[in-house]
């Protein structure tokens, strides 16, 4: 392994490691005003980006950010403060600021913190940050060359690689001390096609919690060809119908539907507050019997996988919906306390500058009994959706949208004409009840999704098999025709 240039100073191998004793000292200050609980979140994040355009590596960048976030809880109230300098004075300052939430209570001492062993769900064979820049540039040039060679209608190509190494150390007043290094890469290709006065773009990308070994299974050429295929298909796109139609969703990326339709509504903070449309529905039927939904942090090297959450708890694979019946919510420490249960390891935060919230990791709809071909054959007239731009949900009533960037008409059981980009809109519980067929072809997204909540972004994974939804509203422009 190459010499590691980027090591968190607070890490066990760092220049000024934070040990149990130092952490306890800061935690004691945090609890001085009578807080029930406190934790320290140290983070050192190094990220890099390389972008190729007009056949040249136009720019390369690197960012380093480091800090400590101190959280103090008293009942349902949270005090949070962070500092960027990890001197004893600054750490004490953050602890004193956060402690004020509990002003007036009796101080109590933290439990002695002990290091905790973690599982390993990331791949470190070939860490991206430590690889040579020339090698990364070559990966981008290969994508560019492959896309241009694929078809003369491709007039522009953009390719980018982003890499990140997030090193965290968490110490809690109930005795946990954990350290984790979380790698992440994302590769992306955009191809722009022109034919006459028609212009379209196509994209492809992927990555995960691994290094450059990613390219052994998905080559730059693969993503280039996918982007080209997408762009060329869209050149012939026609106006999409508007109104309610049957929808078949392709395996893998379509998991974004689950993420929006049910995932957010099952994050326990909304249920603690009673503001989700899934509040109080544990044990009730919330989806078709075909549907079993899990949040699985353990998938090897997937974008949403984590060894430990940002509160020091250990996530596993949890079943949220089993054969249509709601079984569980995703918890952080705060919601778990409220529901008097153990945290599920879903407490995540964007960075040291933000407090944890219940968040998804990899959210999957598990495989069903049907042959994907049979599912298509069952549709006379409908939409086949395979690439998505993103989605959003209104937690209170369950209405959600997601946008299609590649979709086709289904006519008489066959995929026919490509359609212009549209939004699909539906209501989470209603759409989940309308799942009438489910393929046996579970696929997991190739590492592209970022999830936003309360202004905080975290990487997530999604997955599903081929799904048939009896009817969903298609936001096309062709009204009154179907």
- Nearest approach, Cβ of 204 to another protein (angstroms)? 16
Closest contact distance (angstroms) between CB of 78 and another protein is 5
- Least separation in angstroms between residue 65's CB and another protein is 4
**Binding of another protein at residue 100 (CB under 8 A)?**
yes
CA–CA separation, 259 vs 430, rounded Å?
15
Residue 4 touching another protein (CB under 8 A): no
Closest to another protein by CB, 273 vs 440, is 273
User: CA-CA-CA-CA torsion for 462, 464, 468, 473, nearest 10 degrees?
Assistant: 0
Select the residue interacting with another protein from 121, 186, 192, 333 (CB under 8 A).
192
Residues between 237 and 266 with contacts to another protein, criterion CB under 8 A: 242-244
Q: Distance between CA atoms of 100 and 228, rounded to whole angstroms?
A: 56
Burial degree of 132 (CB within 10 A; 0-12, 13-18, 19+): exposed
b vs e for 249-276, b when ≥16 Cβ sit within 10 Å of the residue's Cβ?
A: bbbbbbbbbbbbbbbbbbbbbbbbeeeb
450 binds another protein (CB under 8 A): no
- Does 338 contact another protein by CB under 8 A? no
Smallest gap from Cβ 132 to another protein, in A, equals 9
Q: Which stretch, 18-26, 164-172, 217-225, 472-480, contacts another protein (CB under 8 A)?
A: 472-480
Choosing from 162, 298, 319, 423, the residue that interacts with another protein (CB under 8 A) is 423
Distance between CA 172 and CA 333 in Å, rounded?
11
**Binding flag, residue 199, another protein (CB under 8 A):** yes
Closest CA to 332 of 266, 393, 256, 253: 266
Q: Does 405 bind another protein (CB under 8 A)?
A: yes
- Helices and strands in the chain: count of H runs, count of E runs: 10, 24
Closest approach of Cβ 393 to another protein, in Å?
8
Nearer to another protein, 75 or 119 (CB): 75
Q: Which is nearer to another protein, 153 or 420 (CB)?
A: 420
State yes or no: residue 421 binds another protein (CB under 8 A). yes
- Segment near another protein (CB under 8 A); pick from 34-42, 130-138, 171-179, 406-414: 130-138
CA atoms within 13 Å, Cβ hemisphere of 463? 25
Query: Which span (78-86, 320-328, 360-368, 442-450) binds another protein, by CB under 8 A?
Result: 78-86
Do 256 and 462 meet the contact criterion of CB atoms below 8 Å apart? yes
Where in 54-73 is the site for another protein (CB under 8 A)? 54, 56-67
Rounded Cα gap, residues 24 and 109, in angstroms? 9
Q: List binders of another protein among 29-58 (CB under 8 A).
A: 50, 53-54, 56-58
DSSP string, 180-216: EEEEEEEEEEEEEEEETTEEEEEEEEEEESS-TTHHH
Does 475 engage in binding with another protein (CB under 8 A)? yes
């Amino acid at each position: 392994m190459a010499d590691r240039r980027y090591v968190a100073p607070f890490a066990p191998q760092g220049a000024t490691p934070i040990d149990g004793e130092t952490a306890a000292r800061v935690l004691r200050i945090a609890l001085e005003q009578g807080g029930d609980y406190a934790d320290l979140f140290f983070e050192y994040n190094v990220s890099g980006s390389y972008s190729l355009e007009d056949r040249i590596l136009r720019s390369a960048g690197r960012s380093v950010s480091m800090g400590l976030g101190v959280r103090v809880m008293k009942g349902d109230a949270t005090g949070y403060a962070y500092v960027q300098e990890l001197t004893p004075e600054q750490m004490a300052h953050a602890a004193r600021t956060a402690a004020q939430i509990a002003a007036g209570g009796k101080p109590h001492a933290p439990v002695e913190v002990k290091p905790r062993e973690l599982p390993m769900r990331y791949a470190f064979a070939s860490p991206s940050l430590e690889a040579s820049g020339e090698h990364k540039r070559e990966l981008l040039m290969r994508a560019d060359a492959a896309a241009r060679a694929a078809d003369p209608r491709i007039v522009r190509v953009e390719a980018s690689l982003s890499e990140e190494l997030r090193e965290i150390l968490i110490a809690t007043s109930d005795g946990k001390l954990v350290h984790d290094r979380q790698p992440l890469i994302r590769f992306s290709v955009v191809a722009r096609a022109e034919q006459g006065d028609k212009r379209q773009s196509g994209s492809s990308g992927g990555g995960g919690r691994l290094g450059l070994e990613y390219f052994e299974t998905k080559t730059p050429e693969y993503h280039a060809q996918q982007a080209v295929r997408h762009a060329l298909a869209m050149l012939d796109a026609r106006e999409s119908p508007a109104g309610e139609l049957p929808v078949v969703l392709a395996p893998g990326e379509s998991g974004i539907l689950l993420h929006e339709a049910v995932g957010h509504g099952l994050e326990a903070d909304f249920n603690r507050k009673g503001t989700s449309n899934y509040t109080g529905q544990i044990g009730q039927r919330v989806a078709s019997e075909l549907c079993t939904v899990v949040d699985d942090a353990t998938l090897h090297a997937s974008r949403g996988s984590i060894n430990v959450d940002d509160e020091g708890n250990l996530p596993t694979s949890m079943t949220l919906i089993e054969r249509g019946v709601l079984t569980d919510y995703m918890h952080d420490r705060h919601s778990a306390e409220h529901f008097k249960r153990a945290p599920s390891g879903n407490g995540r935060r964007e960075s040291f500058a933000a407090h944890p919230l219940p968040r998804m990791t990899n959210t999957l709809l598990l495989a069903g009994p049907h042959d994907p071909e049979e599912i298509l054959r069952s549709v006379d007239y409908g939409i086949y959706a395979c690439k998505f731009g993103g989605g959003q949900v209104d937690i209170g009533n369950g209405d959600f949208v997601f946008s299609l960037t590649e979709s086709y008409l289904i006519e008489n059981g066959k995929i026919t004409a490509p359609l212009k980009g549209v939004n699909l809109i539906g209501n989470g519980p209603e759409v989940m009840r309308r799942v009438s067929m489910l393929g046996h072809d579970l696929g997991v997204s190739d590492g592209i999704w970022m999830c936003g909540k309360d202004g905080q972004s975290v990487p997530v994974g999604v997955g599903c098999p081929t799904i048939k939804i009896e009817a969903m509203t298609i936001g096309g422009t062709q009204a009154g025709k179907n």
